[in-house]
Chain A
Amino acid sequence: MIWNEPMECMSRDQMHDLQSRRLKDMVVRVYHNVEFYRKKMQELGLEPGDINSIDDLVKLPFTTKQDLRDNYPFGLFATPKSEVVRVHASSGTTGKSTVVAYTRKDVDIFSEVVARALCCSGVTKDDIVQVAYGYGLFTGGLGLHYGAEKLGAAVVPISGGNTAKQIMLLQDFGSTVLACTPSYAAHLAEAIVEEGIDAATLPLRVGVFGAEPWSNEMRAKIEEGLKIQAFDIYGLSEIIGPGVSNSCQYQNGLHIAEDHFVPEILDPSTLKPMKEGSTGELVFTTVTKEAMPLLRYRTRDLSSLDYSPCACGRTNVRMAKIFGRSDDMLIIRGVNVFPSQVESVLLEIPEAKPHYMLIVDRQGTMDTLEIQVEVDEKFFSDEIAQLNNIRNKIKHRVESILGVSVIISLVEHKTIKRSEGKAQRVIDKRKI
């Protein structure tokens, strides 16, 4: 089912016109109401009248997370504070968090796009949606909550953590949809086995997972573990929160709500547009948001765009599953390494569990990459030679994918911390 057919299935020409009209209106609003953007545009010699269609997007200035921090907390508001009905903030790992704001209309758009995303995942008003994303300043919990309500589903606002209770409610309430981070879903799948519960007996049928990059192999593993169909929901608080895009049943990318959020793919080093299908940094312009519209926000997420029609009937552009973050990218002896690559390899090796930690260090002038991997109990052997075989197999496979030599350390079952939110996968001990 498609939630909003007129907006999700229009022709590319119609979308071009709609985005153009909305962009022109948005540029006028930010130019007149946000000093930050007015200055930036003036520096580039731009006036609102120079923007006549979505093709002029490339002329506009960028926005970065640092710009949000510099204007903390309310410096980028484009409406009077009295129009704001909600704020969210992202937890900054360093320094100040970034604040985002919503007018009543923005909150409605947020619910609308999440409802579309859920519908895209096959969720209907008959479902019971267990929202195990954190509620609070993070957009995940409330975002899914209002979207599921808009769809007409029953919401179980359990928030993140408390695994025993999550499992109890999956059984007692018979939740049919689970929304959380993929790493937490993997954790729940393990915990369900430990409780001696057969996942096939749970009414749970759909997972809507996001807020961190995850691989297709991870999806297969979660689908197998929880006996569900798993969908990818993408979003970031700066743009609106979850619901910016979502995968459909054909699992060939995530349909972007591009009537609200116009995507571009840029080369992260030159910031020039890349040709369709290339992998680069995903950049969004929020053409309808009122309280805090952003021009060309650099997400740091790496993806690609596909404008070809999808078998599901939606014509909205599809972005490839996030490949990694340009921030997460580790440069090891000059080679770009993404934690997600390591994850995909581990998921293909039955002897290893997809719980891992990358430890980057520097010995002399040489970078070292140690990967701690938990050995699956079933493959533990009393013979050192067998264990070394497992280690060498992992080492060989990882090195062939990453293109750098690595140290594989086999660690005890359950020693790598399980996360209930975003997984911490990298420790970089290099002092640069």
Chain B
Amino acid sequence: MIIKQLSVFLQNELGRLEEVTDILYKHGINISALCIAETAEYGVLRMIVSDIEKAAEALKEEDFSVKITNVICMETPDIPGELHKALQVLSAQGINLSYMYGYSNGGTARLILKVSDPEKAIELLK
């Protein structure tokens, strides 16, 4: 399934992440998945949230740079080899994976993947 992900540029300053979560909390927005990529000087916060338009507006209002991108959300059984199979399918068809994050719970794993061609990836993974 293709879903929308919200990314936020964060300067590596203590408290900046907390400001983001505070803004989302005040607007009643729920975060269902989150990942931070960081370099020595800055980081990118990526999230799946309950109301992406509202979240983006609220953060922009507070001068955060935000971006909405299409990512795919994949559900697999939580057993060894499932992720490997999926990734093989994608790479065999020349789809690049930029990054991924996820979790597993109760026998299923949910993964968020940023790929070069989300539509095609979804078809392949069906």
**Residues of A at under 8 Å CB distance from B?**
375, 377, 380-385, 387-388, 409-415
B103 at the A interface (CB under 8 A):
no
Q: Is the CB of B10 within 8 A of A412?
A: yes
* Residues of B with C-beta under 8 A to A383: 44, 98-99, 114
Besides A382-B69, A383-B44, 5 new A-B residue pairs in contact (Cβ under 8 A), listed by A number: A382-B67, A410-B41, A410-B42, A412-B11, A413-B9
Q: Is the CB of A384 within 8 A of B44?
A: yes
Q: Which stretch, B21-29, B58-66, B80-88, B117-125, touches the partner chain A? A: B58-66
Q: Is the interface of B mostly helix, strand, loop or mixed?
A: strand
B100 at the A interface (CB under 8 A):
no
B105 at the A interface (CB under 8 A):
no
B39 at the A interface (CB under 8 A):
yes
B37 at the A interface (CB under 8 A):
yes
* Residues of B with C-beta under 8 A to A380: 7, 9, 65-67
Within 8 A of A (CB), among B16-69: 37, 39, 41-42, 44, 46, 63-67, 69
Q: Is the CB of B39 within 8 A of A384?
A: yes
Bound complex: CA of A413 vs CA of B64, how far in Å?
A: 7
Bound complex: CA of A377 vs CA of B63, how far in Å?
A: 10
**Residues of B at under 8 Å CB distance from A?**
5, 7, 9-11, 37, 39, 41-42, 44, 46, 63-67, 69, 98-99, 114
Q: Is the CB of B46 within 8 A of A388?
A: no
Contact of A412 among B7, B37, B46, B63 (CB under 8 A): B63
Q: Is the CB of B44 within 8 A of A387?
A: yes
* Residues of A with C-beta under 8 A to B99: 383
Q: Which residue of B lies closest to A407 (CB)?
A: B41
Bound complex: CA of A375 vs CA of B44, how far in Å?
A: 13
Contact of A382 among B7, B11, B41 (CB under 8 A): B7
* Residues of B with C-beta under 8 A to A409: 41-42
Bound complex: CA of A377 vs CA of B9, how far in Å?
A: 9
Bound complex: CA of A409 vs CA of B114, how far in Å?
A: 25
Bound complex: CA of A409 vs CA of B43, how far in Å?
A: 12
Q: Is the CB of A375 within 8 A of B39?
A: no
Q: Is the CB of A414 within 8 A of B67?
A: no
Q: Would you give 25 A-B contacts (Cβ < 8 Å), ordered by A?
A: A375-B65, A380-B9, A380-B66, A381-B67, A382-B5, A382-B69, A383-B44, A383-B98, A383-B99, A383-B114, A384-B37, A388-B39, A410-B9, A410-B41, A410-B42, A411-B11, A411-B42, A412-B9, A412-B10, A412-B11, A412-B64, A412-B65, A413-B63, A413-B65, A415-B11
Bound complex: CA of A190 vs CA of B63, how far in Å?
A: 13
* Nearest 3 Cβ contacts at the A-B interface: A382-B7, A380-B65, A414-B63
* Residues of B with C-beta under 8 A to A415: 11
Bound complex: CA of A256 vs CA of B31, how far in Å?
A: 63
Q: Is the CB of B65 within 8 A of A377?
A: yes
* Residues of A with C-beta under 8 A to B66: 377, 380
Bound complex: CA of A388 vs CA of B42, how far in Å?
A: 10
Bound complex: CA of A410 vs CA of B42, how far in Å?
A: 7
Bound complex: CA of A319 vs CA of B90, how far in Å?
A: 63
Q: Using A382-B5, A382-B7, A412-B9 as known contacts, say yes or no to A387 and B42 having CB atoms under 8 A apart.
A: yes
The smallest beta-carbon distance between B117 and chain A, in angstroms, is: 15
* Residues of A with C-beta under 8 A to B46: 382
The smallest beta-carbon distance between B120 and chain A, in angstroms, is: 19
Q: Is the CB of A382 within 8 A of B44?
A: yes
Bound complex: CA of A141 vs CA of B115, how far in Å?
A: 56
The smallest beta-carbon distance between B58 and chain A, in angstroms, is: 15
Bound complex: CA of A49 vs CA of B69, how far in Å?
A: 79
The smallest beta-carbon distance between B87 and chain A, in angstroms, is: 18
Q: Is the CB of B98 within 8 A of A375?
A: no
* Residues of B with C-beta under 8 A to A377: 65-66
* Residues of B with C-beta under 8 A to A411: 11, 42
Q: Which residue of B lies closest to A376 (CB)?
A: B65
* Residues of A with C-beta under 8 A to B42: 387, 409-411
* Residues of B with C-beta under 8 A to A414: 63
Bound complex: CA of A187 vs CA of B100, how far in Å?
A: 39
Scoring A375, A380, A415 by chain B CB atoms within 10 A of each residue's CB, the highest score goes to A380
The smallest beta-carbon distance between B110 and chain A, in angstroms, is: 19
The smallest beta-carbon distance between B8 and chain A, in angstroms, is: 9
Q: Is the CB of A382 within 8 A of B64?
A: no
The smallest beta-carbon distance between B112 and chain A, in angstroms, is: 11
* Residues of B with C-beta under 8 A to A388: 39
Q: Is the CB of A375 within 8 A of B11?
A: no
* Residues of A with C-beta under 8 A to B63: 412-414
The smallest beta-carbon distance between A414 and chain B, in angstroms, is: 5
Bound complex: CA of A413 vs CA of B59, how far in Å?
A: 12
Q: Which residue of B lies closest to A415 (CB)?
A: B11
Q: Is the CB of B41 within 8 A of A375?
A: no
